Structures are given as structure tokens and as C-alpha cells.
A and B are shown apart, each in its own frame.
Chain A
């Protein structure tokens, strides 16, 4: 049904080997998608010339100013016509997934159906910002594809100088280390900033990321402007049955070398059961009939290491919440920066906790995207004025510091 394939001697070499091959997938699509036949031609040309050949542009859907990544081919014949005409327009739609990237198979099949009809059939799960990326659409079909995706209950993600699609870890849904409801916070905060996502008007991109504990599986400290990282304030919890089970399996050498010796603040000691402190800030658990781990929670910096090693035997406390760090960013302009602590601890349990978010433009977050009203007195981040072009929070901060 599709047109004949272009020769792809370079790409063919990426079909061998044990790891799943994207080239094999593309060739399968090319059997009935002319745009993928030409995409393979385009990509082979990139491999041959060792250069990229796409340029951006402006393509969108009605009502939104972002979320589509336009791509037009720059590979042209002498007469100016595109060498690979069916892939001359190969745009991406960024779609926000449910928090934690959970799906039922029926939903994934519907995505496939829509994208096979209106696009190339190539889907990236997921992009580095956390989007479902529907890759390979003509300008004409962008609106049609989005309308059907939107009717499935999914919305466009962020692109350009805007609030970007967010990510949160698996969290409370399937992790004992979760310190707040990551999915709820993710959904609430992002849905409160939809205007700033869909109608880009910020100085530069702005990313929120949500990790449920200091393991920071979402890498939020290094790649989000505002990182919400779960933590706790009270004592580490212990479970004697699991501690003894762990010790029986792993023994004293591992307990000393891998747990006690690796505590960064030397908060853990091995004690005879009778010598364990009864002080309020102490957690302790027996590992055998005579010996206990004693953890001084005043010395603990909540790094997660011992909890990672002895999962269940040691666990985060009960007084849980999150630390908020601001200003993390990647490479450009002044080098990579990590977020720094601006709110050491805040509870994120009730709806009131969640709506007390400091909104950076001074609007109350206690409102749906369509009905904003100032019911509480949010911290006025509006007094924070970034420089007008390409300036992230951290760049702005460091420029001011100079």
C-alpha cells in the first residue's frame, strides 16, 4: 500500500543486536505509512551526512499557543521541492499523561488508533519532560489528532517559554517510601497553571517535578525550577520482624559495611540491646537476640540510604511532608545548578495544605483554571520580576547576586 522504501544501509545496521530496535518499528510502520517511508529516507540522509535536517516553525491548535513541536524538512531538491515530500511536515504533539504514567491497555489502544489514522503511528513513551509524544503529523492533521485525543480526556503538554509538563514518581500508588500524595500534588499544581502552560508568556520554560522521598527518582533537584521532594520530621519507624529477617539473610558484615558504615552523618550505632537509649529522638530495632541498631534522629539528615537497604525494617516517619527547592536547571548560560531549599518542610496532606502553594504570579491557587479568585492571601511572588528574555529563575537569581 505504501510507496517503495528508500535504501537505508546505515539504519539497517541498527536492526541487529538484542535490544528492541526503533528502526524495525519504523520499517513496520512504513509498510502502510508513506510519511514513515520518507521519514526513514530523511533519517538515513542524516546518518549519511552526520547532520540534523529539521527546522522548527509555528503550528498549533485552536486556543492554545504551544504544545506542538513543528518540524519541517530542510532536505530539498535543486528545484526547492522536498526530497522526502511525505515527511516534509513531521510535527510532534506533546500530551500530558496521568501522574505516575499509569495506563490501562484500552487507553493505550485508543492512542494507537488515533495516531495511526492522523499521524505516523510512531509514539514515544515518554519524552524527557514526561510527555506522551505523538510523533509525525502533517500540519493539516494536527487539529484533527488533538481533537480526538482531547475527547479521550487528555490535554496538550507544554512547549516554549511556558510551564512544562510535569512528572511525579510512582509514589503512594506503589512505594512504601512515599511521603505525600505525589499524584494529587502533581495534578493540582499543574492544573492550576494550565493558562501558563497553554498560552506561553513566561520569560523561559518553567518545570515542576514531584518526588515522593529524598531518593528523588524524578531527578527534580537537577532538572526542575521547583522541586517538591517528600521527607519527614519525626523518628524513623522500625519493624523488628523484618529487621531480624534482613539480618538473618545478610549478616553482620553487611549490616556494618553497608548500613552503619554508609550513614553520612554517623547517626546509626550498633548497640547491645540493654544499652539502647530510651530518649525521645532515638529509633531502635533488634537485629538478633542481643544486638540492636540505634538511630539518633536528631543526627539523621533523611538521606534514605539505610531505609533503601533495609526496606520495611526501617521506614520513613509518620510526620510526613515535603521540602521545596527552587532554581534547579540544566546547562545553558551559567552552567547546571541544583535547586536550593526555600521551604524546608511543609505538610501536604489536606486540600488546605495543597492550596496554600505560593503562587509565583500572586494568583491564588485555590481555584480551578477557569474560575480564578483570590480567596487566600498567597505569597506575592509577583514582586519577583525576571528579566524579559530567556531567563530562568536561577539565572535571574544569580545575575541579581552578581
Chain B
């Protein structure tokens, strides 16, 4: 029987965005003068020619069913002008060229359960990963953690009451696909991988796995007459890097997968240079379905920052001013030896000066 003719892909690449732009965005492309925020969740941009657009920003669950997407489209068609865009944090923006449309649009969104906010110095939606819903190596869920966090931070999304913008991320394994953020929630493995020696030679490229280990703790070994791998557990730092290329090196564990919280990541060059975040809380339980222990620490850090930081200080700027000891004092978080950098790059982060706050 003849094979049916397969369709060849049209390798069209990234589509041109011009046909999708709101007409006023297309008209004023590259010609904007300034913007302000009439209220939380609304950006007002003015062009050099005096044209104005309003963007109304609303939170979504990111993983959306077609019913939700169609409802957002209905709202855009009826109350907006049929053009939307999404932000890097999965917020949807409705763009309108008429100020009169803003208030009814907001009312319709909120009536249907979409919070309007996420602009300026608010807590925006969490950049997150796939978790148990779709990842092949997750240590926890993502959408559920995010839903639980945003329920707690709902009012902070809808208001602009933080010192500066707050960007959050969550990552369901230590690879940190959620990325750097002012505050990040990341899975932390606490035990070395458990190796299924019957499977290693069938599933894993052993040299690749050996090369992948950052601390050279993995070496080839013959176990029960089969080629396998072994881990020097004194060296292993439980990073989980060996697990993706070699699933028989199971790093996940329902009990020993813990959750850590990191603060002070900043990608913007504004004021200080970009910074990487640092771990400030570890060993929190992976307590599905609502992660209350994690949320309590997140809220504590954010509320301490809200009360203590000066206007325009991002999390990293605030900590830079008050110093790490006072960060722990003010938040009441325990400082443990596990939070001290002890890797090869740590010299750069230790205090090589007599600048000390007493």
C-alpha cells in the first residue's frame, strides 16, 4: 500500500509582527515619547505626534483552556479593540486607543475573575516552569505552587505599593528554568541520586554523565557484572545535573525533595549592575497542594521588603544597602552554615574589605 503523501513544512520562521499590532502601535512604531500609569494595571503611552494608547494588564493562569482564551478574546472584541499582547510573565495586555474604554474593560475583566494589575511597583505574576503537569524531571509542581503564591499575593498584584517592581519565579528542579528573580522558589535536592544499576547501561551514555558532574563525583563502575556508574557521596552536592541525561540516577524523592527560597536576582542594569540571587531559606517541605510553609516565608520576605526598602530600591538594592546580616535580622529567617557560599567562586562574594555595618 502506498504511503500517503506527507505535507512538507513551510519553514516560515518567526512571523512578522506588524499585522498583529494595534493600528496605533503600528502608526507610532519607534516614535513614543513617554508613558505614565493612571492607575495600577494601566499603562498610558504618548507618542511624539500626540497619539495616545492605553494598555490594560490582567493576570492569567498561563496554562489556559480554550474556553478561557476565547473569553479573553470576547472581552478584547467587545470592550477593547481586538488586539492583545502577552508579557514575559504571562499577563495579557489589552490595547485601546480611547481612554473611555479603559474603565468598562477593567470592570469586565474583574467581573470575570481576571485581576487587573502587575504594572510598575507591584508584584507581577510568577515566571514559572511546567512541573508535574508536563516536565519529565520535575521535583515539584509549578502551576500549583504559582496558584497558591498568587492567591496570597493577589492584593499586591492589584496595587502598586511595593518600593519598586517585584519579579518572582519558581522552578521545579535545581536547573532553575524559572530564572533569576527578586524572589525565587526553587526545588532543592538533599540526597544523592539513587542508581538503578540494571538500567544504566541500557539508558545512559556513561561518559556524558561523568562529564556532566560539576564536582567530579561520578565514575564508571561494574556493578553485579553490569557496566554502571557510582557516586562518591562525600563529593556529591545533590545538584541533580546527572539525572536528565541518565534517568536511572533518580534524584527526586517525595520526602527529601525540599524547597529553597532565593532573593536579589536582578536583570536590569538600572542603578546597580545585574545580580544573581542568593539562597536565604532552605529545607522547606514540598507540601502539595498548597505549600503553606513556602508561602509564609515568601510573604514574610516581601512584607519586610515593602516596609523597609526605600522607593525605587529593588530587592537587591535594598539588601545592598542594609547588608545581609540585617536582612536576616529583619526577616527573622535563621542564618545557617548552609547559606554560606562554599564553591570555587565564593571568594568573589566574601567580604574583601573592612566595610562592616555594626
Contacts and interface: CB of A to CB of B under 8 A. Distances in A.
Interface of A: 10-11, 13-14, 16-23, 25-26, 28-29, 43, 46-47, 49-56, 61-64, 69, 71, 90, 92, 96-109, 111-112, 115-116, 121-126, 128, 130, 135, 143, 146-147, 150-151, 153-156, 166-167, 169-170, 172-176, 178, 181, 183, 186-187, 190-191, 194, 198, 214-223, 229, 239, 242, 254, 257-258, 262, 264, 301-305, 308-309, 311-313, 315, 330-336, 338, 369-370, 389-390
A71 B274 contact: no
Given A22-B61, A54-B134, A105-B84, A123 B69 contact: yes
B89 to A, nearest CB: 10
Nearest to A101: B86
B308 to A, nearest CB: 15
Interface residues of B, number: 117
Shortest 3 CB-CB contacts between residues of A and residues of B: A312-B34, A17-B151, A46-B132
Contact of B88 (A16, A109, A217): A217
Given A103-B84, A107-B20, A124-B64, A20 B14 contact: no
B324 interface: no
Interface stretch (B191-199, B225-233, B284-292): B284-292
Contacts of B312: 258, 262, 305, 309
Contacts of B30: 172, 178, 181
B288 A174 contact: no
Interface majority SS (helix, strand, loop, mixed), chain B = loop
Given A25-B67, A176-B33, A221-B267, A257 B311 contact: yes
* Residue from A28, A103, A308, A332 having most chain B Cβ neighbours under 10 A: A103
A61 B7 CA distance: 10
A102 B143 contact: no
Contact of A64 (B9, B14, B143, B207): B9
B136 interface: yes
B245 interface: yes
Interface in B1-40: 6-17, 19-22, 25-26, 29-30, 32-36
A124 B92 CA distance: 12
Contact of B151 (A18, A53, A156): A18
Contacts of B137: 52
Interface string B173-191: 0111111100000000000
B82 A104 contact: yes
B154 to A, nearest CB: 5
A229 B66 CA distance: 35
A370 B212 contact: no
B179 A219 contact: yes
Nearest to A154: B15
Contacts of B140: 50
A222 B264 CA distance: 13
B304 interface: no
B282 interface: no
Given A176-B34, A216-B267, A191 B63 contact: no
A103 B83 contact: yes
Contacts of A262: 271, 312
B22 to A, nearest CB: 8
Given A14-B290, A125-B60, 12 more contacts: A104-B20, A112-B70, A125-B64, A125-B86, A128-B178, A187-B14, A187-B17, A221-B274, A239-B33, A309-B312, A311-B35, A338-B274
